[in-house]
Amino acid sequence: MEICTKWNVPAYGVGHVVKFEVSAEYLAQFEVKNVGGPIHDELWIPAENLKEFNANIKGKIQLIGTYQ
């Protein structure tokens, strides 16, 4: 939520936090990078992999919060 509230809201006026499940086997091919602090690790998935990434989402995407 910190990235959403401290980066996205000031830049765009709104930020959304979502939760979803993706196969760990599929995600293992991507590199984890740190983006601004010891607690901000994220997977870097190239944009050209978006269709394949979306196909690997399991179940529904849940909206956890919207911040303004």
CB 44 within 8 A of CB 33: yes
- The tens digit of pLDDT for each residue in 4-40 reads 898 899 999 999 999 999 999 999 999 999 987 888 8
- The tens digit of pLDDT for each residue in 46-64 reads 999 999 999 999 999 999 9
CB 64 within 8 A of CB 19: yes
Q: Nearest 5°: phi and psi at 10? A: -60, -35
> Which pLDDT does position 35 carry in this prediction?
85
CB 30 within 8 A of CB 45: yes
* C-alpha 42 chain-centroid distance: 7
